[in-house]
Chains A and B, each alone.
Chain A
Amino acid sequence: MTRALLRTLAILAALAFTLVPILWMISMAFKPFAEWQASGADLTWWPKAPTLDNFRYLFGLGTNELISMLDRTAMKPILSSLLSASVGTLIAMTCGTAAAYGLSRFGSGQNLPLALIQLRLFPPMAVMIPVMMMWAFLGLMDTWFGLALVYGIVTLPFAFWLMKTFFDDMPREIEEAALVEGCTRWRVFTRVTLPMMAAPLAAAALFVFILNWSDYLIALLLTTREWVTIPVYMASLSSSMTGQLYGAKAALGLIAAVPPVVLGVLIQKHLVRGLTFGALKQ
Chain B
Amino acid sequence: MTLGFRLTLPAQVLVLFISLFPLLMQLYISLTDWSPLAGTPWPRAWEFWNTFANYTDIPGDTRLWAALGRTALVMAVCVPVEFLLGLGLGLLFVDDFPGKRLAYSLLIMPMMVVPAVAGYMFFMLFQSGGPVNDILSWFSPTPVTIAWLSDPTLALVAVMAADIWQWTPLMFLILLAGLVGVPQDQLRAATLLGASPWQRFRTIVLPRMKVIITIALAIRAIEAFKIFDTLFIMTGGGPGVATETISVYFYKITTQDLVWGYVAALALFILVALSIAAVWAMKRMAK
Contact = CB atoms under 8 A, between A and B. Distances in A.
B145 interface: yes
Given A15-B107, A231-B117, A246-B124, A130 B14 contact: no
A40 B129 contact: yes
A62 interface: no
Nearest to A19: B106
B174 A280 contact: yes
Contact of B22 (A4, A38, A112, A127): A127
A256 B125 contact: no
B263 A119 contact: no
B7 A98 contact: yes
A99 B107 contact: no
B271 interface: yes
A18 to B, nearest CB: 6
A133 interface: yes
A123 interface: yes
12 contacts: A7-B97, A18-B165, A39-B128, A99-B10, A103-B4, A108-B7, A121-B274, A125-B254, A130-B21, A156-B14, A210-B112, A280-B174
Interface of B: 2-8, 10-12, 14-15, 17-19, 21-23, 25-26, 29, 42, 85, 88-89, 92, 97, 103, 105-122, 124-125, 127-131, 134, 143, 145, 165, 169-170, 173-174, 177-178, 212, 215-216, 219, 222, 225-226, 228-229, 232-233, 246-247, 250-251, 254-255, 260, 263-264, 267, 270-271, 274-275, 278
Given A40-B129, A129-B260, A268-B105, 19 more contacts: A25-B117, A91-B14, A106-B4, A108-B4, A123-B250, A126-B250, A127-B18, A129-B263, A153-B17, A216-B233, A217-B228, A221-B254, A234-B116, A234-B117, A256-B117, A257-B117, A272-B174, A276-B174, A280-B177
Interface of A: 4, 7-8, 10-11, 14-15, 17-22, 24-25, 28, 37-41, 43, 45, 91, 94-96, 98-99, 101-103, 105-109, 112, 115-116, 118-131, 133-134, 152-153, 156, 160, 185-186, 189, 210, 213-214, 216-217, 220-221, 230-231, 234-235, 246, 249-250, 253, 256-257, 260-261, 264-265, 268, 271-272, 275-276, 279-282
